[in-house]
Every structure is written in structure tokens, then in C-alpha cells.
Amino acid sequence: MNETFSKGERLSSQKLIQQLFTTGSSTSASPVRARWLFSSLPAAVPVQIMIAVPKASFPKASDRNLIRRRIRESYRRNRSLLHESLATTGRQMIIAITYSGRKILPYSGIEEKIIVLLQRLKKENENASG
């Protein structure tokens, strides 16, 4: 499997983002929260994600970028947990990952939380398929 995080995997459609935040479901593994929705995507990828770190929690852009990089890297390294499940059911999903903590966790802490979220999303996909 290709290990890069391509442009096609980034959620950038305003229409899809609006749909995600109005009708999507959410799950949390504190301090990381995922909002997700099954949707047909214009790109031929199983998942498109966006990552948000609030400016109110981290005024310095360098801190927000650090957290965003850690989340993106932990997602990239562990996304196969979710991709395999979506491939078997033939679904596509959009996800918004939001960091809601007040402290910067080390990479290992963020990776643990991302793995928990991906496993929950995998379970949601399997439950939805019946």
C-alpha cells in the first residue's frame, strides 16, 4: 500500500464539510475527536480527512502546526485499519479530526488516540453493513 498522504485524501470540498458537520456522527478519544459520515467522494479513495486544531486553545501557529503534523502522521501510518474495512464493504467516508486538548501530547500519545478512533470507525462501518 502506498504510504504517502496524497492531495486526494484531504477533505477540501466546502459542500462535503458542511454536510459532515450538519449530519455527521462523532466519537471521541480525549483529546482527539472525530466527526464522520459515509459519503460518495469525487476521488477514488476510501477516506478523505481534515484536521483542525483550534486557535483559541493554541494561539501560536507553530503549536497548531506541530499537533496537526503529529495527527496527520499517526493517521497516515495507521489508516490501513480503516481502509481494509471500507474496501470490503465498498463504502467511502469523510472524517474531520479535531484536537480538543489544552496541552500538546507527545506523538506516541496522539498515535494511541488515533488508533482508538480508527478502530471505532472500523466498527461503525462493520455495524452499518449489517
Measured from the Cβ of residue 127, the count of other Cβ atoms closer than 10 Å reads: 8
pLDDT range class, residue 14, cuts 50, 70, 90: very high
What string of DSSP letters covers 38-84?
A: E---SSS-SEEEEEE--TTT--SHHHHHHHHHHHHHHHHHHTHHHHH
Domains of the chain, residue spans: 9-129
Closest CA to 96 of 43, 33, 35, 45: 35
Q: Residue 128: pLDDT band by 50, 70, 90 thresholds?
A: confident
Domain 9-129 has CATH 3.30.230.10: yes
Q: In which band, very low, low, confident or very high, does the pLDDT at 31 lie, cut at 50, 70 and 90?
A: very high
